[in-house]
Structure 1
Amino acid sequence: MEQNHIFGDTIFALSSGRLPSGVAVIRISGPQTRFVTETISVRLPQPRSAALRFLRDSDGSLIDRGLVLFFPAPASFTGEDCAELHLHGGKAVVDAMITVLYKFAGCRLAEAGEFTRRAFANGKFDLTVAEGLADLIAAETDGQRKLALQVSSGAQANLYSSWRTELIRARALIEAELDFADESDVPGSVSDQVWESMRNLAERIGKHVVDGKRGAMVRDGFRAVIVGAPNAGKSSLLNALAGRDVAIVSDEPGTTRDLIEIKLDLNGLPVLVTDTAGLRETEGKVEKMGIDRALEQASAADLVITLTDLSNPVEPRLNDVADGIILRVGTKSDLTQSPGAAAYDLVLSTRTGEGLDDLLEMLAKRVELAAGSLSDPLPTRRRHMELLTETGREVTAAVYDEAAPLEVRAEYLRRASHSLGRITGDVDVEDILDVVFSQFCIGK
């Protein structure tokens, strides 16, 4: 397969992270890659095989001794000729090699994400896989890693591609009835063949969108918000969960004015726990702003942990928060002889540590229940959710707008396939013609 150079420049960049390091990897991609690599290392290694080489400047001066790999197009990450130079990870070594690469005509430093962008432009993968790769690099928990790995492996792209194929076939049947009704080999009764399958597709898309909330939670984190009256122990609990002092603890009411957030990893799933201002009536402008923010966070949370001081019980008042996402916790159990545990989901003391492990266990179970199984492809980004919702809306309109002309219902399906194609970056208005002519033998 002959390489088609979409991009004229050859790009290079340090791809192995911050220096100094044990090894530094410089990646090169573009039409000049073969010449550049051969010039620096004297001779190319066998494709996709590492070879130890002396790496030299154009004047013959030695820069370093390291491994060289060459990946000829199109069997490379970007689809272009690619190379990797594995150097010693010192700043001076890397700077010297970067300086040498700048000397070659048509070579420049890569922009952020440009290698992946070239891979997409050269058809190595679609947009969802590119996004999955970005999420894989950014993953901080095992759950995020698994979800990103699933997306980057193409499972999501394959699902959307199969749905788009269904839409294209449905449109092809409609177009066939509209334009080639006199042909003997065109199936009749589009309604029987199309609308039942489209009704089923709309249901599957709708369920997928609902499941997308799980994917977004795994990617962005399960949000737990701690609320309660002043001095209920919110900041003490946050510090105990973090294992360090991240919030000021004081007997003075109203100490916390702003939101303080920590990130936990519970059984491989990310959890964001937020400490908020104490809920009470106040005339203070700044404190009132903190309380408003606390209520706003609680209304948008996946779980609200309400704290009540058992030695001085003041129940927090919450509006617009569903009872099913509230976890009622009694605090400072070490300061009272009759904690009244029956009124709460659990009681704890940050001073003695009582109940902290139980709280983490309950929190972990809530997160696992919310995340569900990560074995099925899930939409992970708002862009996916918006376009999937749009797709489902168009398919539903096509199915249930029975009074509309067939041309209008076909247009609904065209817009649905266009929205679905925008998720993967694969929008081709001509591919419906291939389906029509191949399936119905038109023009034989």
Structure 2
Amino acid sequence: MQTSTTIAALSTGSLPSGVAIIRLSGPKTFAAVEALCGSLPASRTLARKTLIHPETGEALDQGLVAVFPGPHSFTGQDCAELQVHGSPAGVKAILSTLTTCCGLELAGAGDFTRRAFENGKLDLTAVEGLGDLLAAETESQRRQALSRLEGGLADQVMIWRALLLDARAEIEARLDFSDEDDVPFALPHHFIADLQALGRKLADALASYDRGRIVREGFRIVLAGAPNAGKSSLLNRLAGSEVAIVTAEAGTTRDTKDVAIDLGGQLITLTDTAGLRETDSLAEGEGIRRAKRAMESADLVLWLLAPDAVSAPDIEMDVPVWRLGTKSDLGRGALVVDLSLSVTSGEGIETLLKRIESHIEGRLGASESSLVSHLRDKDALERAIVSVETALERIDQPELCAEDLRRAADTLAGLIGLMDNEAVLDQLFAGFCIGK
């Protein structure tokens, strides 16, 4: 991306709206604002202006204008915001004028945030935190994303990296004098203990990934069982709306269906699945295969059994499985279950929700949400830990040990963007909306 260009985009939501904010960033920003408004407002001060087409003199709109000189701006460049009326025609006219008369370019997805990263205003983990904050649906997601945006993970990574660089310097300083007979090669007595302690800190951070992932992505609950066991009915009841088709005919559900709910500030993703049974139908067979795959990746499986449905054979899995007896208003029969409930009467529904909430609290623990929440975090920490462990194993081979420490430090540097991978950057910023 060429940061020497000046970009503009609508930064607020879909039109029409009460207010629309058009954001500008780049070297031509102030000239463009002056061309539309006649003069620049004082820095970081909102001023009421009439926006005029610089060639025709036609009034485009009225609004509030603010300018932010670089480098003290979001992107690190000269920036401006035009707060105008949320008229589709008005916004289109202003953007058209900026591009045709002022030489600006329309921004692509994530262009403003990418400029902020490239100008050192945000590190990569903060960029991801910003993306998480924009997508946050629950209070726990908001808190976790904000902590990441404010540099919680980056600060810790910088400390770990500094310790690795210091350890590597200890070795390389001695290697520089290894040909001096009167300078013995001896590391400080605490060197190994310090490196082991760092390895434990990295391992503790990695162990918190599951907690952070659950907050960020949601706790995944899969409803499974035989056809007509009441999975779709329970999904509708928990979601509070008719999101799944429910009929007396077995095998209605042919695919997985995800519904998100907020339970006590925690995002939960409920997945309805096809009933498990032997079938000759290709479509139903594919649905059953997807159901099994969803169960394998779940955080919790609710195995539903109903008195009027043929029970599906239990499946051994590594995830927790709760046996729920549905349609308790029809009688419970000889079913052995952990909890009985009825969607019709409401029996057991509140108890189920309380048990789920308690179970999630147990998984997350009493501590704050983990800042290690992205798969990229997990991968970097795993590779850094391996490098530190290898360095300890090769402590008597100083050249190789120093190389292992370099790899660990470089891995952590890549996590926060000090050593960037262009493919990673392209994928990350593509997830942002235009105007952000």
* CA displacement 1:274-302 (0-9 Å, x = unmatched): 11122223333332332222222212210
Give the stretch that moved more between structures: 74-83 or 354-363. Answer: 354-363
Match of 2:413 in 1: 421
Distance 1:233 1:288 in 2: 19
For the 8 Å contact 2:175–2:185, the answer to whether it is kept is no
Match of 1:262 in 2: 259
For the 8 Å contact 1:227–1:316, the answer to whether it is kept is no
Judged with a 3 Å threshold, the aligned counterparts in structure 2 of structure 1 residues 256 and 109 are, in CA distance, closer, same or farther, namely same
Distance 2:83 2:342 in 1: 53
* CA displacement 1:371-399 (0-9 Å, x = unmatched): 33563652221112111111111011101
Match of 1:202 in 2: 199
| 1:247 matched to 2:240 | no
Give the stretch that moved more between structures: 287-296 or 346-355. Answer: 287-296
Deviation at 1:311, TM superposition (A): 5.2
| 1:46 matched to 2:38 | no
For the 8 Å contact 2:211–2:369, the answer to whether it is kept is no
Distance 1:116 1:123 in 2: 11
**Please, what is the CA RMSD of the aligned residues?**
2.3
For the 8 Å contact 1:306–1:316, the answer to whether it is kept is no
| 1:358 matched to 2:354 | no
Q: Secondary structure at the residue paired with 2:223?
A: strand
For the 8 Å contact 2:226–2:309, the answer to whether it is kept is no
Judged with a 3 Å threshold, the aligned counterparts in structure 2 of structure 1 residues 399 and 167 are, in CA distance, closer, same or farther, namely same
| 1:236 matched to 2:227 | no
Q: Secondary structure at the residue paired with 2:373?
A: coil
Deviation at 1:368, TM superposition (A): 2.6
Deviation at 1:366, TM superposition (A): 1.9
Distance 1:15 1:194 in 2: 51
TM-score normalised by L of structure 2:
0.90
Match of 2:425 in 1: none
Q: Secondary structure at the residue paired with 2:128?
A: helix
* CA displacement 1:333-374 (0-9 Å, x = unmatched): 1111x5668x42211111111111111111222223223356
Judged with a 3 Å threshold, the aligned counterparts in structure 2 of structure 1 residues 187 and 212 are, in CA distance, closer, same or farther, namely farther
Residue 162 of structure 2 aligns with an amino acid whose one-letter code is T
Distance 2:141 2:369 in 1: 14
Q: Secondary structure at the residue paired with 1:190?
A: coil
Deviation at 1:180, TM superposition (A): 3.6
Q: Identify which of structures 1 and 2 has the higher relative contact order when contacts are C-alpha pairs closer than 8 Å and 6+ apart.
A: 2
Residue 389 of structure 1 aligns with an amino acid whose one-letter code is E
Residue 44 of structure 1 aligns with an amino acid whose one-letter code is L
Judged with a 3 Å threshold, the aligned counterparts in structure 2 of structure 1 residues 349 and 233 are, in CA distance, closer, same or farther, namely same
Q: Secondary structure at the residue paired with 1:192?
A: coil
Q: For 1:334, which of 288, 306, 329 is the aligned residue?
A: 329
Give the stretch that moved more between structures: 388-397 or 54-63. Answer: 54-63
For the 8 Å contact 2:394–2:400, the answer to whether it is kept is no
Distance 1:220 1:372 in 2: 17
TM-score normalised by L of structure 1:
0.89
Distance 1:155 1:344 in 2: 44
Q: Secondary structure at the residue paired with 1:361?
A: helix
Q: For 2:387, which of 394, 403, 412 is the aligned residue?
A: 394
Percent identity among equivalent residues?
Answer: 44
Residue 36 of structure 1 aligns with an amino acid whose one-letter code is A
Q: For 1:66, which of 63, 69, 89 is the aligned residue?
A: 63
Distance 1:32 1:285 in 2: 60
| 1:32 matched to 2:10 | no
Give the stretch that moved more between structures: 364-373 or 53-62. Answer: 364-373
| 1:216 matched to 2:209 | no
Distance 1:377 1:168 in 2: 25
Deviation at 1:248, TM superposition (A): 2.1
Match of 1:284 in 2: 281
Q: For 2:315, which of 313, 318, 329 is the aligned residue?
A: 318
Q: For 1:78, which of 62, 75, 79 is the aligned residue?
A: 75
Aligned residues: 418
For the 8 Å contact 2:199–2:385, the answer to whether it is kept is yes
Judged with a 3 Å threshold, the aligned counterparts in structure 2 of structure 1 residues 418 and 250 are, in CA distance, closer, same or farther, namely same
Distance 1:354 1:68 in 2: 57
For the 8 Å contact 2:27–2:77, the answer to whether it is kept is yes
For the 8 Å contact 1:155–1:377, the answer to whether it is kept is no
